[in-house]
Chains A and B, each alone.
Chain A
Amino acid sequence: MNSILVSVLWGILLMYAGFLTKNKRSISVLAVVGAVAVLSANALEYMGLSFFDIDTKGMLFYNPYSYIFLVVIHASLLLYFLLSGTEVEETAATPSDHYALIFFVASGISIIAGFKSLLMLFLGIEIISIPLYVLAGSDKSNLKSNEAALKYFLMGAFSTGLMLMGIAFLYGDSGTFYLEGINMGATEMSPLKAIGGVLILASMAFKVSAAPFHFWTPDVYDGSPTVFTSFMATIVKSAAFFAFIKLFEGAFGKIQGQWQVLLAVITALTLIVGNITAVFQQSVKRMLSYSSIAQAGFMVMGIFAMNLMAKQGLVLYFAAYSVASIAIFAVLAKLKDHSVDAFNGFAKAHPLVAAVVLICLLSLAGVPLTAGFFAKYYMLVAVLKNGTMYWLPVLAIVCAAVSVYYYFRVIQAMYFKETEAGSVAEIQFSSSFKVIMVVCALLIIGLGIHPDWLMDLL
């Protein structure tokens, strides 16, 4: 609740800050302060200090799990601002408005971190989605950005329609919008509930870009300004996953066995499509888009399993995935050229940044001693613990091996290839940027060596 309030207020503050100052830098600083404020507000509430106390009629309820999830999200947000602040300033005509939108999204995330009613889910998702449509199209003179925005908007609205239809059917079945109410009742699914479940599953799959509802993802991520792609692909996607698991655990937890087949199909398709298609990509940005689908495949496994292991692991996955991706996107945003070859000789020109990118890529690939390994590990344990469909983890690791192929192409370019014209050498990285990058690397390695630092909180 604290974080909803603070992020909304900070959004409004930034909105007006645009009138007060034209200095983009100070607006970025304000945004960073805002992220810290949101983070600390949430942390305070986690520790028991709530700014206000209202009766939500049970529509919002936060448990430690939600709080830790929000801590991860807000920390990622902070890192994102720190690393990509300058890009926001450059990309956006009015950074204050864009920051405001991001803070509104953050408030939406805070809402879905605690929703107990489908109404709040719906509102939360819309509060997240609508600013994103705008952010995707924020490079207004760029046709790719326009295209991304319109595609995202049309398909997003369509998926909202599916979700609402699903909600309607669920309501028709149970007469309530509360998750507990939906979860009660017969252990055999009625047709109404089944249809509602499938529809809402489809729309959630859409939001987390799980196949076969992923088609918007590569185009939108590719077309949007890189700095906002970073935001969409990491923080927002994590939030969507959180909503996903919260919804399915809350509303369908009792009848898990009856929809697991669908999720298995989704997982398999997502893994295959994401990984196999990423292999072909020549642009790192588009490769990362597909990789985000591939990573989603692993996360869907957590929803498929939906046991304690999966729930804990998902938060770790969010952290691992978000931090690594934010860092890589931050570097990518500084490169003019997004092709793999643009990274040639990067390690020689910028050894420190290259090392961090390396660690991030290793983490994405799931190499041990990085957070990404334990993230994937938890997912595998969760699925195996589930006790059915052993082919799923096998498929997952085969796909993880495939993922090594495209992640390592970047590593190979950075470390083993020579640059042609010194293009990478021209890029400047400020020392503060480097410091934050190192922090990212340390986070990844720290969680890779001792994930219990995070897991113990859950």
Chain B
Amino acid sequence: MQVMPINYYIFLSVALFTIGIVGVLTRRNAIIIFMCIELMLNAVNVLLVAFSKMHHLNAFAADQLTTVGTEAQLFVFFIMVVAAAEVTVGLAIIVMLYRNIHSVDINFLNRLKH
């Protein structure tokens, strides 16, 4: 295994994150927007794991048995948990809306404004 600057991971993550944001901005389909948000969460996950590794390795040099970095990977785990819960509720909302207006186009959501 070779040297891999943390910046690469950061840039990758930021790029994914940005793509997610652009997706949220450009799409009108609520489900796709939601998927883009999931993409953003995954970008975070990548970054967390990368940082976890980085910190672990920094500590590893001093102490072979270190558990530094575990917390970030567990954080990723919790993010996934939460994402799953969010998806449950989110899709329920989308389905509910679809039942009422037969569309998931967010541009139709403009009864509430000003």
Touch between chains A and B, by CB atoms below 8 Å: yes
Q: CA A123 – CA B75 in complex, angstroms?
A: 10
Q: Is B44's CB under 8 angstroms from A168's CB? A: yes
Does residue A65 face the partner (Cβ distance < 8 Å to B)? no
Known: A149-B93, A172-B47. A126 touches B86 (CB 8 A): yes
Q: Are B37 and A154 in contact (CB under 8 A)?
A: yes
Q: B55 touching A175 by the CB < 8 A rule?
A: yes
Contacts A146-B96, A150-B97, A177-B71 given; does A172 touch B51 at CB 8 Å: yes
Chain A residues, Cβ within 8 Å of B86: 126, 130, 157, 160
Task: Give the chain A neighbours of B114 by CB distance below 8 A.
Answer: 280
Tell me if B47 and A146 are in contact (CB < 8 A): no
A165-B44, A171-B48 known; A123-B30 Cβ under 8 A = no
| Chain A residues whose CB sits within 8 angstroms of the CB of B97 once the complex forms | 146-147, 149-150
- Assess whether A151 is in contact with B112, with CB atoms less than 8 Å apart: yes
Contact A222 B112 (CB under 8 A): yes
Residues B34 and A157 in contact, CB atoms below 8 Å apart: yes
CA distance A219 to B43 in the complex (A): 29
Residues of A within 8 A of B113 (CB): 219
Q: Please name the residue on chain A nearest to B87 by beta carbon.
A: A157
Residues B100 and A175 in contact, CB atoms below 8 Å apart: no
Is there an interface contact between B79 and A164, defined as CB atoms closer than 8 Å?
yes
A176 at the interface (CB under 8 A from B): yes
Task: Say yes or no: A161-B37 contact (C-beta < 8 A), given A134-B89, A168-B47.
Answer: yes
Q: When chains A and B are docked, how far (Å) is the Cα of A101 from the Cα of B108?
A: 28
Asked if A223 lies at the interface with its beta carbon under 8 angstroms from chain B, I say yes
| A:123-149 near B, CB below 8 Å | 123, 126, 130, 133-134, 137, 140-141, 143-144, 146-149
Q: Does residue A429 face the partner (Cβ distance < 8 Å to B)? A: no
Q: How far is the CA of A219 from the CA of B110 in the complex (A)?
A: 9
Q: Assess whether B96 is in contact with A148, with CB atoms less than 8 Å apart.
A: no
Among A119, A153, A169, A171, the residue within 8 A (CB) of B89 is: A153
Instruction: Knowing A143-B101, A164-B79 are in contact, say whether A137-B85 is a contact too (CB < 8 A).
Output: no
Distance of B10 from chain A, by nearest CB (Å): 7
Q: Contact: B112 with A122, CB < 8 Å?
A: no
In angstroms, Cα B97 to Cα A111, docked, is: 32
Q: Is the interface of A mostly helix, strand, loop or mixed?
A: helix
For B106, what are the chain A residues with a Cβ–Cβ distance below 8 Å? 150, 154
Interchain CA distance A39-B55 in the complex, whole Å:
42
Asked whether any CB of chain A lies closer than 8 Å to the CB of B72, the reply is yes
CB nearest neighbor in A for B85? A130
Residues of B within 8 A of A177 (CB): 71-72, 75
B78 touches A119 (CB 8 A): yes
- B97 CB, min distance to chain A CBs, angstroms: 5
B33 partner, pick from A146, A154, A218, A280, beta carbons under 8 A: A154
A169 to B44, CA, bound (A): 9
CB distance from A312 to the nearest CB of B (A): 33
B40's closest neighbor in chain A, by CB? A161
Residues of chain A within 8 A of B51, CB atoms compared: 168, 171-172, 175
B19 interface residue (CB < 8 Å to A): no
B8 to chain A, nearest CB (A): 13
Expressed in whole angstroms, the Cα–Cα distance for A144 and B97 within the complex equals: 10
Q: Is A4 an interface residue (CB 8 A)?
A: no
Question: Given the known A-B contacts A164-B44, A165-B44, are A223 and B90 also in contact in the complex, defined by CB atoms under 8 Å?
Answer: no
| Cα–Cα distance between A322 and B54 once the two chains are bound (Å) | 45
Q: Which residues of A contact B (CB under 8 A)?
A: 119, 122-123, 126, 130, 133-134, 137, 140-141, 143-144, 146-151, 153-154, 157-158, 160-161, 164-165, 167-169, 171-172, 175-177, 218-220, 222-223, 280
Between A and B, 17 residue pairs with Cβ closer than 8 Å are A119-B71, A126-B85, A126-B86, A133-B90, A143-B101, A149-B96, A151-B112, A158-B24, A161-B40, A164-B79, A165-B47, A168-B51, A171-B51, A171-B55, A172-B10, A172-B50, A172-B51
Residues of B bordering A, CB below 8 Å: 6, 10, 13, 17, 20, 24, 30, 33-34, 37, 40-41, 43-44, 47-48, 50-52, 54-55, 58, 68, 71-72, 74-75, 78-79, 82, 85-86, 89-90, 92-94, 96-97, 100-101, 106, 109, 111-114
Q: 6 closest A-B pairs (Cβ-Cβ)?
A: A161-B40, A219-B112, A172-B51, A175-B55, A164-B44, A168-B47
